[in-house]
């Protein structure tokens, strides 16, 4: 276990060193940051940073709500579990490692039950991303692209049907039955997970989805704030709808956050190049938001993981 933690620490450390110290665009990053700090735009950066802990606090409240039926986890431990999950998820595709990081604060058989809780939380967040991205994409395409009206209406209806279907499935997920799989050992395991999910009624799922959408609005606002900090002159309509499009496409890319930030940067250039030629600022905004929302929490998560391991070792 210690070896795994050290390897994780080394991997994350190398990635950060490669992305920050060895980055070929380091001069551009320094220039854009200095330019943003020279005026009064630093207020936007402070606002973006302050929203980060609020964002993850909401996620901890949401996750704790889902595990409370069988595990009375304290608010502090729930917050620690979230940061530990961010750290492990930083180097895994689609941040699937968050499951393992959060398990550190769940004991015994309750660990198995916490897996569907994390899954439900993730599904709710993805549905929120799709809803927000769909609305933003409609606004963005209508305002800044010339589409055939029939194509636009057909796309709007199709997107609306997808959202309705996703919400219907989500609010009826408690009805999931896998009794027919009990003949296999893995089927029994899945059926146990389905039994846990069946405990979530619609009021809980509504609160989870509401908190997920609140998180979505927060990190959209963070993106807009960092764009303002770097002096990219965009209207609020263009900024929020463009951010929604970027997050919508990013949600469908199963890459580790380390690689998804690169993909998001390329997509951001395509979107924001409609309004500005400041490619350096676009890339710095994307990279900066990744550092604020994932790198800083991941470093804190690593300290929490190592501390948990030390505490367990001292108790042996």
Query: Per-domain residue ranges for the chain?
Result: 2-314
Distance CA(110)–CA(206), nearest Å, equals: 24
pLDDT score of 212 more than 60: yes
Alpha-carbon separation of residue 234 from 72, 135, 226, 238 (angstroms):
46, 19, 12, 6
Q: Who's near 188: CB < 8 A, 6+ residues apart? A: 181, 182
> Which tokens hold the place of 120?
């439900």
Element (H, E) at 121: helix 110-144
Which pLDDT belongs to residue 244? 92
pLDDT tens column, 18-42? 555 555 455 666 666 666 667 667 8
Which pLDDT belongs to residue 223? 93
Please give the residue that has the higher pLDDT: either 103 or 21: 103
Greatest distance between any 2 Cα atoms in the chain: 69
Which pLDDT belongs to residue 286? 82
Q: Residue 311 has what DSSP assignment?
A: H
What are residue 85's phi and psi, to 5 degrees?
-65, -40
Q: Is residue 215 within 8 Å of residue 125, measured between CB atoms?
A: yes
Please give the residue that has the higher pLDDT: either 210 or 149: 210
**Segment 78-93 mean pLDDT:** 83
**Segment 78-96 mean pLDDT:** 81
- Report pTM: 0.83
Distance CA(12)–CA(54), nearest Å, equals: 24
């Amino acid at each position: 276990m210690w070896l795994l933690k050290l390897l994780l620490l080394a991997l994350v450390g190398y990635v950060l060193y490669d992305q920050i110290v060895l980055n070929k665009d380091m001069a551009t990053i320094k220039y854009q940051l200095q330019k943003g700090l020279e005026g009064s735009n630093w207020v936007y950066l402070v606002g973006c940073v302050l929203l980060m802990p609020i964002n993850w606090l909401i996620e901890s409240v949401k996750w704790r709500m889902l595990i409370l039926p069988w595990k009375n986890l304290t608010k502090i431990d729930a917050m620690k579990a979230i940061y530990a999950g961010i750290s492990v998820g930083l180097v895994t595709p689609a941040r699937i490692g968050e499951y393992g990081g959060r398990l550190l604060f769940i004991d015994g058989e309750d660990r198995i039950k916490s897996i569907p809780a994390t899954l439900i939380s993730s599904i709710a967040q993805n549905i929120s991303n799709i809803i927000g991205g769909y609305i933003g994409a409609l606004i963005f395409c209508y305002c800044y692209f010339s589409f055939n009206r029939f194509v636009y209406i057909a796309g709007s209806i199709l997107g609306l049907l997808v959202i309705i279907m996703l919400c219907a499935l989500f609010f009826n997920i408690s009805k999931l039955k896998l009794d027919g799989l009990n003949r296999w050992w893995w089927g029994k395991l899945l059926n146990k997970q389905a039994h846990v999910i069946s405990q979530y009624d619609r009021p809980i799922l509504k609160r989870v989805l509401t908190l997920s959408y609140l998180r979505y609005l927060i990190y959209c606002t963070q993106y807009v704030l960092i764009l303002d900090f770097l002096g990219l002159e965009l209207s609020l309509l263009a900024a929020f709808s463009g951010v929604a499009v970027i997050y919508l496409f990013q949600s469908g890319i199963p890459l580790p956050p380390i690689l998804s930030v690169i993909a998001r940067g390329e997509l951001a250039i395509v979107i924001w190049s409609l309004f500005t030629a400041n490619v350096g600022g676009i890339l710095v905004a994307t990279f900066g938001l990744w550092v604020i929302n994932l790198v800083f929490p991941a470093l804190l998560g690593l300290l929490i993981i190592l501390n948990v391991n030390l505490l367990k070792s001292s108790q042996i």
